[in-house]
Structure 1
Amino acid sequence: MERAVGTVVRGLRGPIVNQGDDIGQIVVDTVLNTAKTEGYDIQDQDIIAITESIVARAQGNYASIDDIAADVQAKFDGKTIGVLFPILSRNRFSNLLKGIARGAKDIVLMLSFPADEVGNHLVDIEELDAKGVNPWTDVLNEEEFRQHFGYKKHAFTGVDYIDYYKELVESEGATCKVIFSNNPQSILDYTKHVLTCDIHSRVRTKRILNSRGAETVYGLDDLLTESLNGSGFNPEYGLLGSNKATEDTVKLFPANCQPLVEDIQAKLKDATGKNVEVMVYGDGAFKDPVGKIWELADPIVSPAYTSGLTGTPNEVKLKYLADNNFSDLRGEELREAIANHIQNKKEDLVGAMEAQGTTPRRLTDLIGSLADLTSGSGDKGTPFVYIQGYFDNYTN
């Protein structure tokens, strides 16, 4: 009998994971137990996705505000620091800003506008047009911004991030001047020593600053790249991808995850005889049409995955085939024609008309987004996501 269901996604409930736990064995046990209790079979090309937060907790990859402050102090040595392009997020940036301020005396905080790079808005772009403000050329100080736009609270959090961030800096004993610009070199009118806090545009920002006369340039990815006084660290991403853990600590993005995913794959192979793909995932990459946030505040969707998740989809558009190649067919004839076309499709459909409209993204970004939407970031208690049938098509 043909299957009547394609992709199936299950959020798997697991135990609360703490530092030092064997996360690999926990994942394997959870998958095997859930398959047994829920009555489904483990198959080749199934996927188990594990949220990065659980991995980092098991690794004990934490750092304190004092650890951040010590690294900032060592790198900037008391100079006025231009803190550039932070995202507007209490979870993501508040403790980082405390640490930066604790390691500094004077800060110039430069915010992008109308929004940060992941879509959190300080002001609606329509208001810029109404006030005749050009976000690509104009540089505003705090007084000018307030004169134009007043006091704005974030639609979802109810926070005025200008005041909130300024107060965080000043609470640590540092001074804080706030300016608004989308041009990285604007900060150089205030200081030649810069900590750029953008995520996906950080390489460009550093290049521009270094080429325009900056004397000290670091990014969040350059802080805590090695352990400081026993702290956690991430050699590749530093503080990027970190989250607030407690009022005094942050949980860093997990490090060295590749051995973990390969170990889980091997253990599931030994237990079931099936080749299950494994990935660690963080934020998905998708945009909220209301809040305008596009979510991806981690430096990458998946820091580690097994080899079967490499590449991009190679799919044809069924409705294109039905409307064009086989528009004269109906019923079983149409089904057979489309099935035959799929079974004989080229291995590389880039540029082919029948592939137009399929999603041109990496598999890990697509699957990571699916997993992130499934597990959520709240109290669902499903840090593991089990996906079946993702690589199936109409012929399976």
Structure 2
Amino acid sequence: MNVHAGPPRALTRLTLRLVPLTPVHIGDGTEMRLDEYRLEGGALCRFDQAKAMRAMTPAQRSAFQRALDAGRLGEAAETLRRAGAGAILERIPISGRARNELQRAFADPALRSGQVRPFVRSGGRPCIPGSSIKGALRTALASAALPRDREPPGGWRHEAALSAAFGLDANRTETDPLRFLHVSDAFLPDGATLIDRVEVMDRKNPEAGKMQMHYERTRALTDGGEAPDFTVTIGIDGRAGEEGCVPRSDARFDPRLLLWRCRAFHVGLFNAEMKRFFQGTTMDQIQRKLLAHRDPVGRLPLGNTAWDPRFLLLRLGRFGHFESKSLEGVRRGHFPQAKNPADRIRPPNAWGLTRTITRDADSNPIPFGWVIGWVVREERP
């Protein structure tokens, strides 16, 4: 949410054209169950349950009621799915891996839940909320502004670190410099998402995927084909860089500084994750696609000595892991499953052992959430 900050002063607008480098999932907290969708060809078809029940033949209605009365929920769901063929609301492409797993769930619902978590929508269309992008920018800005020479005894806690970085007063929203930053939502184009199987990969055994789940995620450059792009507008009020509006000098920013801090934070995180979890084919593949992604006039992200100032790298959505949501040097992961109680809160900047992934056509693990793009337009007052 953007807090009202009074009349804008010298508002600069940046138009970003972004593309998922790796798949992105941003959910709305809901899930589709086995009695809410059916599989047809290469698509998951979500249907209107009430309309499907009204369209049942007398025989189907009787079979449905008998199955419910007898507690045969899988049989009842199958009857409802058959009736749902005439009440389709939406068809979402599905990967072969996910389709195979969900077909097994239809056959044995007691063994597999068959739940599918959809992408967040607005007006029925998948979208990237501006709040998700603003959160990534906020973390990068705070990480750069943190007064590391004033670390309190016992170390930083995340909220205290944010307050120290931005000079926040918990009781005064007008102390937040991010009130001068506005980010639009972005609608994804048709066909931009698909249902896929998601795994938790252990660093010690990257071939073994545990806790298989199913999520709607964006297509991405790592899929090997066309990837969707989307446009986001960022508005930066000139007061974000003024002493009278943002007391802490390190917390002030302008368009150039915003992009630089965001890029520096996420490039460092990207390189560390690649080296720790994905060395080899995956790292080589993803790095090649990142470095080859040209802007509309043909510029490459990395020159001889530096990143292009118009290029951007972000980590968005779920499965970005706590490293991308917390400040560099401050992040302390919580691992309640650790056998030794002393290891359940990790030291600052320690990494865990797992990543949440999907897999490409060659079964290489692919992480979630990396988005790349360019500033394609800048409008200054």
TM-score range, shorter chain: under 0.3
TM-score by length of 2: 0.24
Which structure has the highest strand share of the two?
A: 2
